[in-house]
């Protein structure tokens, strides 16, 4: 998962409004934070702020933070130390410089942030970022704001919609948050505490946003949720709709060529969702389905509510529905009590599944979660050694998968200019980055290309005459 993501900036806006204030938003953590950063940019745009990619020219810096692992929060505090120094320099120049902390560290630490770092002006949790403009106003009058409530109002209803040109400038792919929070309570995880319990956005709101995106030129939408496949909403037929129903509905939106969703829990992969993979050509054959561990004993201690065999059976069913699906997952090594034999079970499960991509982490104790109370913590060097072995295996699988694509003709969605002139970067159906010779005017098109080689993190392709499905 991305640890640092800068927002795509509609650069032309900055030149249109030279006197406006500038905001730099640094995004840590998952795609849900990337989406939130975009929406915070929208909320601030209505107050005259334009986004900038240069921290040095910003009047406001927002750190949109992640609390999933210990290191993530540490990074925020060291970044705040640097911002404090910048604020001092700016004050000496008589220029405004405000600092805001948003996201999951804001939610979890609240007042503690301003106690540790008094230079911070606003602390806003993920449920209240629509109140950011008012919070900044009040901070300007000397009243620092810490707002980490679970707002009663729906933030999405209160967020201004971006202008079409702004959406277009953000690119041809977009995230769309449909669900937030988690009720699963895996014993290692802070999400149920920082993001709260599961809430689904209503169908009409999602369709409205999807149409707005497509209208502005977006070709691919990735539906987001901490537990996206737990999404539920009343459908027009009065029935309760699940994520599968939503995908069937979105597949009918003209111009919307590609659909993805992330992140899913194995327990919530229902029949309808699996059928959607069988039936919908616009639903891309890629599924991020974290398993975390391969030992039933550890899965139980993690409160994952499924066994390794159940996970494997599920993947078998998904592969029957969509044979070319590429699997992705998350893994944690060194959960308290994990023995060598448990870890071997994880390696075995990985061998059995064959992942096209994966994310793996050392267990990190999160205060307040049940995992933190467990004895039998695994020593750091053991965790490091296990992670190294697991990552070597996962990387090999990823490279093997990439190699297996060479020679195939695939559909490529052209997304952005490449590093070399005359090159464009696109995405394969399996979420791989692909370089191809094409014109930037083709960005947004889906073209047939032949994969001709692999690089460390991407593939190389040449335009192909016609599509011969492998
Ligand atoms: N330690 C290590 N990794 C964690 N994750 C969540 N909590 C922790 C933790 N305490 C990982 C899981 C999850 C991903 C988003 O982050 O693998 O799926
Ligand atoms: Fe965390 Fe588990 Fe919920 Fe995923 S399913 S957000 S790992 S508690």
Q: 383-417: per-residue pLDDT in tens? A: 999 999 999 999 999 999 999 999 999 999 999 99
pLDDT of amino acid 163: 87
- Kindly state the tokens that stand for 316: 């078998």
Best residue for ligand 1 mutational test, from 301, 306, 332, 394 (most atoms within 8 Å of Cβ): 332
Q: Is the CB of 67 under 6 A from ligand 1?
A: no
- Kindly state the tokens that stand for 52: 């900038």
Relative to the alpha carbon of 378, which ligand is closest?
1
3-state secondary structure of 288: strand
Ligand 2: residue whose CA is nearest its atom 1: 189
Upstream peptide bond of 423 is cis (omega within 30 degrees of 0): no
Q: Is the CB of 185 under 6 A from ligand 2?
A: yes
Relative to the alpha carbon of 68, which ligand is closest?
1
pLDDT of amino acid 391: 98
Angle CA 315–318–320, to nearest 5: 110
pLDDT beneath 70: ranges in the chain: 1-19, 152, 466-470
Torsion of CA 218, 223, 226, 228, to 10 degrees: 180
Q: Is the CB of 69 under 6 A from ligand 1?
A: yes
pLDDT of amino acid 468: 52
Taking the centre of ligand 1 as the mean of its atom positions, its distance from the CA of residue 290, in whole angstroms, is 10
Q: Is the CB of 192 under 6 A from ligand 2?
A: yes
Map tokens 């745009």 to a residue: 45
Nearest to 126 by CA among 96, 156, 160, 99: 156
Angle CA 388–394–398, to nearest 5: 140
- Kindly state the tokens that stand for 417: 């200019």
Best residue for ligand 1 mutational test, from 31, 294, 330, 373 (most atoms within 8 Å of Cβ): 330
Helices (H) and strands (E) in the chain, counts: 17, 22
The count of C-alpha atoms lying within 13 angstroms of the C-alpha of 240, restricted to the half-sphere facing its C-beta, is 4
Stated pTM of the model: 0.93
Q: What is the DSSP string of 129-192?
A: GGGHHHHHHHHHTT--EEE----SS-HHHHSPPPPHHHHHHT-SEEEEE-EE--S---TT--HH
Residue 105: burial class (beta carbons within 10 Å; 0-12, 13-18, 19+): buried
Other beta carbons within 10 Å of 379 = 9
H or E stretch covering 98: strand 98-102
Taking the centre of ligand 2 as the mean of its atom positions, its distance from the CA of residue 102, in whole angstroms, is 20
Q: Is the CB of 68 under 6 A from ligand 1?
A: yes
Q: 101-159: per-residue pLDDT in tens? A: 999 999 999 999 999 999 999 999 999 999 999 999 999 998 899 999 887 678 888 88
Best residue for ligand 2 mutational test, from 31, 69, 180, 185 (most atoms within 8 Å of Cβ): 185
Nearest to 136 by CA among 66, 43, 10, 55: 43
Ligand 2: residue whose CA is nearest its atom 2: 186
Nearest to 226 by CA among 258, 185, 256: 185
pLDDT of amino acid 6: 40
Taking the centre of ligand 1 as the mean of its atom positions, its distance from the CA of residue 191, in whole angstroms, is 9
d(CA 452, CA 461): 5
- Counting from 1 in the atom list of ligand 2, the atom nearest the Cα of 195 is 6
Relative to the alpha carbon of 185, which ligand is closest?
2
Ligand 1: residue whose CA is nearest its atom 14: 330
């Amino acid at each position: 998962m991305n640890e640092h993501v800068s927002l795509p900036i509609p650069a032309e806006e900055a030149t249109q409004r030279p006197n406006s204030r500038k905001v730099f938003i640094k995004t840590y953590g998952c795609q849900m934070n990337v989406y939130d950063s975009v929406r915070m940019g929208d909320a601030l745009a209505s107050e005259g702020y334009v986004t900038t990619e240069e921290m040095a020219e910003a009047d406001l810096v927002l750190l949109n933070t992640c609390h999933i692992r210990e290191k993530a929060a540490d990074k925020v505090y060291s970044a705040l130390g640097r911002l404090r120094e910048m604020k001092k320099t700016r004050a000496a120049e008589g220029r405004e410089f405000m600092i805001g902390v948003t996201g999951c560290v804001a939610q979890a630490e609240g007042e503690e942030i301003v106690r540790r770092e008094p230079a911070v002006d606003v602390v806003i949790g993920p449920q209240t970022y629509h109140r950011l403009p008012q919070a900044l106003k009040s901070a300007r009058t000397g009243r620092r704001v810490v707002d980490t409530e679970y707002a009663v109002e729906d933030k999405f209803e209160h967020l201004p919609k971006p202008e079409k040109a702004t959406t277009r400038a953000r690119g041809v792919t977009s995230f769309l948050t449909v669900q937030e929070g988690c009720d699963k309570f895996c014993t290692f995880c802070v999400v149920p505490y920082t993001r709260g319990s599961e809430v689904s956005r209503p169908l009409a709101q999602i369709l409205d946003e999807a149409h707005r995106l497509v209208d502005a030129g977006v070709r691919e939408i990735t539906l987001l949720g901490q537990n996206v496949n737990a999404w539920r909403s009343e459908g027009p037929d009065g029935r309760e709709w699940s994520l599968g129903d939503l995908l069937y509905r979105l597949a009918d939106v003209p111009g919307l060529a590609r659909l993805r969703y992330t992140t899913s829990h194995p327990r919530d992969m229902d029949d309808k969702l699996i059928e959607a993979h069988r039936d919908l050509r616009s639903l891309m054959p890629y599924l991020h389905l974290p398993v975390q561990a391969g030992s039933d004993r550890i899965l139980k201690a993690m409160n994952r509510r499924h066994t390794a065999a159940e996970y494997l059976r599920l993947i078998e069913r998904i592969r029957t529905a969509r044979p070319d699906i590429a699997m992705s997952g998350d893994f944690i090594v060194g959960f308290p009590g994990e023995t060598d034999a448990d870890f071997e079970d994880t390696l075995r499960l990985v061998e059995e599944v064959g992942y096209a991509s994966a994310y793996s982490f050392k267990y990190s104790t999160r205060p307040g979660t049940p995992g933190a109370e467990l004895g039998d913590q695994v020593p750091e060097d053991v965790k490091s050694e296990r992670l190294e072995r697991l990552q070597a295996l996962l990387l090999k699988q990823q490279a093997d998968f990439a190699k297996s694509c060479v020679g195939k003709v695939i559909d490529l969605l052209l997304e952005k200019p490449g590093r070399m002139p005359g090159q464009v970067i696109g995405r394969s159906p399996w979420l791989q980055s692909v370089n191809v010779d094409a014109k930037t005017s083709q960005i947004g098109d889906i073209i047939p290309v032949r994969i001709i080689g692999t690089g460390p993190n991407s593939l190389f392709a040449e335009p192909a005459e016609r599509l011969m499905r492998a």
